[in-house]
């Protein structure tokens, strides 16, 4: 039995929290009222938070601007040392924070702890990066000239994150943005405000210990209002948005029209192609975890399986058997595989998607439905389900944030790749095959059109070391590893003349 009250106490969560924080300082005018956070696990109210208004927003932004002038002057490796301390603090709080993620968001405790592990990993990555923010040196075409590039911080990095990864997505952005010399302003999902408050407290503690000023990392609690202000605010040069394609389009249009930068991590419609040469035991585990993990609420969740016709029936039967073994219930109980959806609104969306699918001809081989009765009183639990469909069905073309898995049959790999690419989204994809030719074709320019393409691994569970993100309606942004840090900086090309004449480029003569 987990003692939620002591978890909340350890993380510094109060019964009523204020609307914003600039670090150690909390505040809020209270003009927009409050919001209660409920656990989808048992329906209990956890705590109440105030909503930030325009005045709160301006307080935070002006503090952040002042802090930026200070933070950008601190050498990057020293900024890295502060992020290293954040990683240590997260190690210390891993159990409590993972538990809160599980309780407030509803993912299994294992996945909650995994999310905190991702935070620790990205901190480690960012510490190393703080000594490797490299620019290139180029050879100038002019004599006695030196040409090189430098990477400078942008200023305020605005982070708008979703409920499904309530802590990790912030850390991917914040850890990188901070070592790059930016300050951060975070607007988390209002559905997981307490997770955000916990993260903010942990980082604030580290900043305070290092005698850093207020405003290096700020938090604003809001529904959509603050996200709107951020998208339209010229004083936020970068907005990193994770969420639906629908909202992402609004954010990117607003940011783009003021020529700001954005990093967009939007919807996915992720597929595993199961070849007739796949290891089927492995494929079942990959498919089921991908489809039901986080109750199908990852942007990398497996939505479609495209299965070779020769093994279709066999694989279908194995899948039905595996679904029969799933235990659905309290996410904090480690015997369960699947927890609740985030709220009852999500359940309604799931039900509607099933109905829409049936109307279009989807044939459910594992039936879905909402669960009620003992253990399910929050009204947020649903049955993971599986349907045979055609790829062009409207519902199959959409991302439904719930555990609904669609099966499609194929004959040739070329056809399978075409089907997998024939959706508006382009985040994650995978092929299960032991055949090298198939694997390489899938990864080639003529293969998957997604930002992530895996062989003999499912679609979810990406490591932080690689660049994370996708193409098409997924938004094109990249976060986490590789050179994703460049998205948080501005590039400056510098040319220095140490000759005693002024030769012009391209050989142009200009004599006075």
Helix (H) or strand (E) holding 313: helix 312-324
Question: Shortest approach of ligand UN1 to residue 272 CB, angstroms?
Answer: 14
User: Annotated active-site positions, please?
Assistant: 265
Question: Shortest approach of ligand UN1 to residue 110 CB, angstroms?
Answer: 13
Binding string to ligand UN1 for residues 22 to 61, with x set by CB under 6 A, is what?
----------------------------------------
What secondary structure letter does DSSP report for 414?
H
| Complex with ligand UN1: residue 361 or 465, whichever CB lies closer | 465
Q: Is 298 in the site for ligand UN1 (CB under 6 A)?
A: yes
# chain residues binding ligand UN1, by CB under 6 A? 10
Which residue in 354, 244, 344 sits closest to 299, CA to CA?
244
Helix (H) or strand (E) holding 490: strand 489-497
Interface residue with ligand UN1, options 37, 164, 192, 433 (CB under 6 A): 164
- Cα 49 to chain centroid distance, Å, stands at 23
Tell how strand 452-455 and strand 428-432 pair up.
Answer: parallel
Question: Shortest approach of ligand UN1 to residue 300 CB, angstroms?
Answer: 4
Interface residue with ligand UN1, options 439, 460, 474, 487 (CB under 6 A): 460
| Complex with ligand UN1: residue 155 or 487, whichever CB lies closer | 487
Question: Shortest approach of ligand UN1 to residue 254 CB, angstroms?
Answer: 21
What φ, ψ does residue 230 adopt, rounded to 5°?
-60, -45
Q: Which residues contact 164 (CB under 8 A, 6 or more apart)?
A: 105, 107, 294, 297, 298, 299, 342, 401
Q: Is 461 in the site for ligand UN1 (CB under 6 A)?
A: yes
Binding string to ligand UN1 for residues 253 to 292, with x set by CB under 6 A, is what?
----------------------------------------
| Complex with ligand UN1: residue 216 or 291, whichever CB lies closer | 291
Question: Shortest approach of ligand UN1 to residue 242 CB, angstroms?
Answer: 6
In terms of Cβ atoms closer than 10 Å to its own Cβ (0-12, 13-18, 19+), residue 209 is exposed
Tell how strand 302-308 and strand 404-410 pair up.
Answer: parallel
Q: Is 299 in the site for ligand UN1 (CB under 6 A)?
A: yes
Which residue in 414, 454, 408, 409 sits closest to 431, CA to CA?
454
What φ, ψ does residue 3 adopt, rounded to 5°?
-90, 95
Question: Shortest approach of ligand UN1 to residue 249 CB, angstroms?
Answer: 17
Cα distance from N-terminal residue to C-terminal residue, the chain = 85
Q: Is 429 in the site for ligand UN1 (CB under 6 A)?
A: no
* Greatest alpha-carbon span in the chain: 90
Segment contacting ligand UN1 by CB under 6 A, of 83-91, 245-253, 297-305, 340-348 = 297-305
Distances (CA, A) of 381 to 38, 255, 300: 14, 37, 20
Interface residue with ligand UN1, options 231, 262, 300, 429 (CB under 6 A): 300
Distance CA(446)–CA(440), nearest Å, equals 10
Binding string to ligand UN1 for residues 168 to 187, with x set by CB under 6 A, is what?
-x------------------
Binding site for ligand UN1 (CB under 6 A): 164-165, 169, 242, 298-300, 460-462
């Amino acid at each position: 039995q987990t003692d939620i009250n002591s978890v909340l106490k350890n993380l510094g969560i109060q019964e009523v929290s204020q609307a914003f924080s600039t670090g150690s300082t909390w505040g809020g005018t209270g003009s927009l009222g409050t919001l209660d956070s409920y656990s989808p696990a048992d329906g209990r109210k956890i705590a109440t938070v105030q909503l930030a208004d325009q005045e709160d927003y301006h307080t935070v932004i002006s503090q952040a601007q002042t802090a930026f002038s200070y933070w950008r002057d601190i050498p990057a490796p020293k900024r890295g040392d502060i992020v290293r301390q954040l990683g240590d603090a997260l190690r210390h709080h891993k159990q409590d924070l993972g538990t809160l993620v599980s309780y407030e968001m509803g993912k299994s405790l294992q996945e909650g702890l995994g999310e905190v592990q991702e935070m620790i990993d990205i901190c480690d990555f960012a510490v190393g990066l703080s000594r490797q923010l490299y620019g290139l040196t180029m050879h100038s075409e002019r004599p006695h000239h030196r040409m090189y590039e430098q990477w400078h911080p942008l200023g305020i990095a605005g982070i708008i994150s979703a409920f499904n990864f309530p802590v990790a997505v912030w850390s991917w952005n914040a850890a990188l943005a901070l070592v790059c010399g930016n300050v951060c302003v975070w607007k988390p999902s209002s559905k997981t405000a307490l997770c955000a408050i916990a993260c903010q407290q942990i980082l604030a503690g580290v900043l305070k210990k290092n005698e850093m000023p207020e405003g290096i990392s700020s938090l604003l609690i809001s529904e959509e209002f603050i996200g709107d202000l951020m998208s339209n605010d010229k004083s936020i040069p970068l907005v990193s948005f994770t969420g639906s394609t629908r909202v992402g389009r609004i954010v990117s249009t607003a940011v783009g029209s003021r020529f700001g930068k954005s990093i967009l991590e939007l919807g996915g419609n992720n597929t595993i192609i199961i070849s007739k040469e796949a290891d089927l035991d492995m494929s079942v585990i990959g498919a089921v975890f991908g489809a039901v993990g986080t109750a199908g609420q990852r942007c990398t969740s497996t939505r479609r399986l495209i299965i070779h016709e020769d093994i279709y029936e066999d694989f279908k039967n194995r899948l039905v058997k595996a679904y029969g073994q799933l235990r659905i219930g309290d996410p904090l109980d480690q015997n369960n595989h699947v927890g609740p959806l985030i709220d009852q609104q999500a359940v309604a969306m799931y039900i509607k998607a099933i109905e829409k699918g049936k109307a279009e001809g989807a044939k459910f081989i594992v039936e879905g439905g909402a669960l009620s009765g003992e253990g399910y009183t929050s009204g947020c639990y649903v049955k993971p389900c599986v349907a045979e469909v055609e790829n062009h069905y409207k519902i199959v073309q959409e991302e439904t944030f719930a555990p609904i898995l669609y099966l499609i049959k194929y004959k040739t790999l070329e056809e399978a790749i075409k089907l997998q690419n024939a959706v508006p989204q382009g985040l994650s994809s995978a092929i299960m095959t032991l055949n090298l030719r198939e694997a390489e074709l899938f990864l080639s320019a003529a293969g998957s059109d997604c930002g992530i393409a895996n062989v003999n691994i499912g679609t979810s569970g990406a490591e932080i070391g690689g660049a994370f993100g996708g193409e098409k309606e997924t938004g094109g942004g990249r976060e986490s590893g590789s050179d994703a840090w460049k998205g948080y900086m501005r590039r400056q090309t510098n040319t220095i003349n140490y000759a005693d004449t002024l030769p012009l480029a391209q050989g142009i003569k200009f004599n006075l």
